[in-house]
Amino acid sequence: MKETQPRIGVVVFPGSQDDRDAAWALGALGAEPIMVWHGEKELPALDAVVLPGGFSYGDYLRCGAIARFSPAMRAVTEFAEEGGLVLGICNGFQILCEAGLLPGVLRPNTSLEFICRDVAVVVERSDTPFTARCEAGQELLIPVKHGEGCYHLPPELPEEQIALRYAPGNNPNGSEEDIAGVVNSAGNVFGLMPHPEHAVDPLLGSGDGALILASLVDSARERLYARA
Amino acid sequence: MRAVVLVRPKAGILDPQGEAVESSLRQLGFTVAAARVGKVIDLEVAAASPSAARAEIERMCERLLANPLIESYEIELAEDA
């Protein structure tokens, strides 16, 4: 069975806190999670990479601004530029924006409050490697927990890069156009503020996050077969 | 050579921190038309000349200290003062 398990790297920065939840969820959904320390200059053979949530480098200066220059992020940037699948969750989304792998930037919530609760989000694009198990227009219940999740979009962002929106009336942080997650133009890099890894078991409130992570595992498995 | 970098939210960018400060000042009875909150970064750099220092600090701002999408920056060299 081992050869059907895609290898998905989870990058661990100083201050990451959701790396283990992400690894556990990916493992439960059929992948082999590989922890990658932020000081690593090269990635092992991987079929996808996840940048987990947390407060890398203490969120100093701006969220993600320091993490983006870590050795592992240079390797992740190369991986993404070669078409590798990269998912950034919360702080991982912030890092991808700072690194220029995703458009836009995440700013302090307009309420200035740290928000930790379940929110309803709507899948805008079901034709990405990260949302293929969802249907366009499907509503998912996934928790957010962040102080800086207010998405500021660049003026030229095409509508088709908006993959996930907060459901009407559910925007928790003041994000422009209710944006909760965006993909890059090539479609291989996805960042979102909600935490799918905290919603993979209905026992804990919602299993909807598993749709996103299982989509990633499916896509990574296709990469594995192509690599073999 | 010492320098001060001022990083500010760009005009038109929502600044919830500035708004909170503004409303707090009003509650204290001060008359305030607007408040914006930015950052100050004190630097000490080794450079051959003020112009070389300025060019180096501009590179720092572009790469790390400011996010050009939402922030503007100003560099003040100690010699300028």
Q: Do B17 and A174 touch (CB under 8 A)?
A: no
pLDDT tens readout for residues B19-78: 999 999 999 999 999 999 999 999 999 999 999 999 999 999 999 999 999 999 999 998
CATH number at residue A219: 3.40.50.880
Structure tokens at A173: 């942080």
Number of compact structural domains in chain A: 1
Interface contact A109, partner B, CB < 8 A: yes
Residue in chain B lying closest to A63 (CA): B67
Per-residue pLDDT, B60: 97
Residue in chain B lying closest to A176 (CA): B14
State the smallest CA–CA distance between residue A213 and chain B in angstroms: 30
Reported ipTM: 0.84
- Residues (pLDDT < 70) of chain A are 1-2
What does the DSSP assignment read for A10-42? EEE-TTB-SHHHHHHHHHHTT-EEEEEETT-SS
Q: Which residues contact A29 (CB under 8 A, 6 or more apart)?
A: A200, A210, A213, A214, A217
Looking at 3.40.50.300, 2.30.130.10, 3.40.50.1460, 3.30.1280.10, the CATH number of the domain B2-80 comes to 3.30.1280.10
Separation of CA A118 from chain center: 17
Structure tokens at A103: 């458009």
Residue extents of the structural domains in chain B: 2-80
Nearest to A108 among B16, B65, B67 (CB): B16
Residue numbers of the domain that contains A76: 2-227
